[in-house]
Amino acid sequence: MLQNIDEAFKPPVIASLKWLACSIEPLKIGLLAEIFVLPSTPNDGFEEISPLFSPVDVLKYFPGLIVVQGGNAWETRGERRKDLHYLTSDRIFQGPASSFAFTESDAHMHIGRLCLAYHLHRSSMTRISNFNQHNNYYKKKLMEYASRNWAEHLEMIPQASWPPEVSRNAVLSLSIRSQSLVTIAGNYYPNKVLIWRPHCYTALRGFRQLTEILISGGVGVSKYLTQVDLDEGLPTFDQARNLEVLQMLLNHGADVHATGGYYGTVLQAACAIQYRDIVRFLINHGVAVNAQGGRYGTALQAACAVGDSWIAQLLLDN
């Protein structure tokens, strides 16, 4: 089937297959149609994009490769993960369709790089003064996908492999009080703390590498982070469930007893969401298990409220 694709359309087909194989979310036909007409690289610019006459027109460029289920576009070769394995396997690299082959890292970098550049391009053209205007901003699905997922795609790849242009754009996109950050952060946490402290947003999402960049002290205003700035990252962290990010924040000086956020403390948050590794980690780092305050009053009350006897016993033992 791959060999039957018109040579003139191979570049956008290959690019689209990367999205189909490695997208963070299922691709609606409308989104796939927007993806298909994207430039091969951000350097080609986004000003001259010509949309397809109708979103379903995109299907004719993938004869026999795509079926539509509930409005989502899927490869026809069985389960999605099997498709990913085939498209990145030695079998396709060594076969007659080798020109369509790619690695998973290549796909994530391609998607993340384009999404990041597209997000910066679109956010520079749009003024959003408050979080309530987000629905008006996301008139096209690609804008929403790019804003929400560029960072997650990049986090799939070691930062040492990021091109310099990607690293620069990532920092630019997360600049304090920038239009770009407003459009990103408003998706997850309608609170101005994320606009003033971008590392709180990356910690909230569990993005270890981006958080490291922002708190390392070598990028822009991160050189002037205060104790309060670092401490703010822990209460915001309560939705991230990422032990590496938590450890990084503490290693950079965040106070394990910092208060704030929905649950009050990071220990109470870990108990409430039943993340046992983080509870054990915090106890080993000397957190006060009987501290008062927060949504449930104490960490033990949080564990009991969600019915986690294992965490409750661990707290009682310490």
Task: Give me the DSSP letters along 203-270.
Answer: HHHT-HHHHHHHHSS-SGGGGG--HHHHHHHHHHGGGT--HHHHHHHHHTT--TT-EETTTEEHHHHH
pLDDT tens track for 141-173: 888 899 999 999 999 999 999 999 999 999 999
Lowest-pLDDT choice from 30-34, 39-43, 85-89, 277-281: 85-89
Lowest-pLDDT choice from 60-64, 101-105, 294-298: 60-64
Most confident range, picked from 124-133, 180-189, 214-223: 180-189
* Cα separations in angstroms, 11 against 6, 29, 70, 119, 157: 10, 19, 27, 22, 23
User: How far is Cα 135 from Cα 262, in angstroms, rounded to an integer?
Assistant: 25
Lowest-pLDDT choice from 161-170, 180-189, 245-254: 180-189
- How does the average pLDDT of the chain come out, rounded? 80
Is pLDDT of 1 > 70? no
Is pLDDT of 273 > 70? yes
HSE-CB at 20 with a 13 A cutoff on CA atoms is 31
pLDDT of residue 299: 92
User: How far is Cα 146 from Cα 118, in angstroms, rounded to an integer?
Assistant: 7
- Which position has the higher pLDDT, 78 or 213? 213
Q: Which helix (H) or strand (E) holds 32?
A: helix 29-36
Are the beta carbons of 74 and 66 closer than 8 angstroms? yes
Q: What is the pTM of this model?
A: 0.82
User: How sure is the predictor about 280, in pLDDT bands with cuts at 50, 70 and 90?
Assistant: very high
User: How far is Cα 140 from Cα 160, in angstroms, rounded to an integer?
Assistant: 32
285, amino acid identity: H
Across 254-264, average pLDDT: 83
pLDDT tens track for 65-108: 776 666 565 544 334 444 556 666 666 666 666 677 788 899 99
- Which position has the higher pLDDT, 109 or 250? 109
